Structure 1
Amino acid sequence: MDDLSTIPANLDHLIITVPELEAGVAEFERLTGVRAVAGGRHPGRGTANCLVGLAPAGWPAGAHTYLEILGPDPQQEAPADGTLPLDAHLAEGLTLQTWAIHPHAFLAKVAGANTEGVDFGEVRDMSRETADGTLLEWRLTSRSPLPDKGTQPFLIDWGESSHPAEAGLPSVELEEFSIESPDAAATRRVLAVLGAEDAQAVDGTDHRLHARLRGPGGVLEF
């Protein structure tokens, strides 16, 4: 039986990066049987996304958790330096790049991370228009390069905006989620500071995220 307690209660979303968005969406559908729906564009950032709901078995109904497939936006010019948010330009196929948590006290967690010396980068205000033209606005922590190769989560606060998972997304089941780290004890200390102390961190040879997603057409595992 899957240990659902290893899926963090504050999980907001997982991010898969792809080198080409439409091809990435098609590959995700081939593997899981679920087709992601258009999320929106990030003006000036060179990226767009498509979304799939995440439905961890045993979680309460209405839990706001989703999967973002992020890739270059063919209708935008790439930034002048050629880099894209969350290192999306480096993706090779479907890449589980990083993850986000939504702590209940965003600013308090940011202050705590500063005090404890956890390098989360900076707090940024972000926005995008959804496929139906609704403006979403949020703030998040952002650092480039990604801390610990994306295994350290970033913090997100949706403020007054609707959460993307409220849009009735097609969904897959999140069966497992864990973090591999060369120093799992140190990783657990950082996770506790950020508000994800219930995430599973295990010893490994490198920083790596592990997830298993199940859809009606198959299982996708990272």
Structure 2
Amino acid sequence: MDPLIPAHLDHLVVTVPDLSAAVAEIEATTRVRAVPGGRHPGLGTANFLIGLAPAGWEAGARTYLEILGPDPEQERPADGTLPLDAHLATTPRLQTWAIHPPAFAAKVAAANTEGVDVGEVRDMSRETADGELLEWQLTSRAPLPGEGTQPFLIDWGLSRHPAEGELPSLELLGFAIESPEPDRTRFALEVLGASDTEVVAGPEFRLRARLRGPGGELAF
């Protein structure tokens, strides 16, 4: 049976306490080394990226793995918090995920109508390692809805999608949500445009993914 990978998957977010150590650990497991993505000025974080090749998707699909952690060259915000609760990471954790539905504004409106709390729409930007400015919109809520299992929505607008660059790649073998409230989780996913996501009953909210590189598999 083919794995069920959401058609509008944009990226998976792994939060880590130490970016350099996490990049080295992933490389040791998979023999794929993440490349610098860029910094988030004023937010205290930076990221590294690896392209994802979901099983069954056509070549050239745009999705990636974001490794997010404290930027050693930035001071943390005064309150000590980091985006997506990255300040709480003690080990690499698959924290949350993003989808890029074809009608961003319409999906935000539908969520508001149906009582699915996606938070606020925020304008974001960062410079890539090559100095290119990327600008996008996303939905943002704290705490993370569904403890990170409910995806946030993202719209890259006119910016180049991060996965369009020459990224090293891992194969995405599987992706699923564990939820103690599977019916409620499925309803939210349907409203947001990700009903083609595997949801299984479990004792806690949790994201699961399996990735494979030439050196081996990585599981969260």
Q: Matches of 1:143 and 1:186 in 2, distance apart?
A: 18
Deviation at 1:96, TM superposition (A): 0.4
Question: Any gaps of 5 or more consecutive residues in structure 2?
Answer: none
Residue of structure 1 equivalent to 2:180: 182
TM-score, normalised relative to structure 2? 0.99
Residue of structure 2 equivalent to 1:37: 35
Q: Matches of 1:80 and 1:18 in 2, distance apart?
A: 20
Q: Matches of 2:155 and 2:139 in 1, distance apart?
A: 9
Residue of structure 2 equivalent to 1:207: 205
Q: Does 1:108 align with 2:106?
A: yes
Q: Does 1:161 align with 2:159?
A: yes
Which residue of 57, 75, 90 maps to 2:88? 90
Residue of structure 2 equivalent to 1:170: 168
Q: Matches of 2:194 and 2:109 in 1, distance apart?
A: 15
**Would you identify which runs of 4 or more consecutive aligned residues in structure 1 move more than 6 Å?**
none
Residue of structure 2 equivalent to 1:132: 130
Q: Matches of 1:30 and 1:155 in 2, distance apart?
A: 32
Which residue of 8, 22, 26 maps to 1:24? 22
Deviation at 1:159, TM superposition (A): 0.1
Q: Matches of 1:154 and 1:57 in 2, distance apart?
A: 22
Cα deviation code 1:191-210 (max 9, x no counterpart):
00011010011110010001
In structure 2, the residue corresponding to 1:55 is in which secondary structure?
A: strand
Identical positions, percent:
73
TM-score, normalised relative to structure 1? 0.98
Q: Does 1:65 align with 2:63?
A: yes
Q: Does 1:192 align with 2:190?
A: yes
Q: Matches of 1:88 and 1:64 in 2, distance apart?
A: 24
Q: Matches of 1:143 and 1:51 in 2, distance apart?
A: 23
Report the RMSD for the aligned CA atoms in angstroms: 0.7
Letter in 1 for 2:61: A
Q: Does 1:11 align with 2:6?
A: no
Deviation at 1:61, TM superposition (A): 1.5
Letter in 2 for 1:70: L
Cα deviation code 1:163-195 (max 9, x no counterpart):
000001000000000000001111000000011
In structure 2, the residue corresponding to 1:188 is in which secondary structure?
A: helix
Q: Matches of 2:94 and 2:175 in 1, distance apart?
A: 11
Question: Any gaps of 5 or more consecutive residues in structure 1?
Answer: none
Deviation at 1:58, TM superposition (A): 2.0
Q: Matches of 2:57 and 2:160 in 1, distance apart?
A: 20
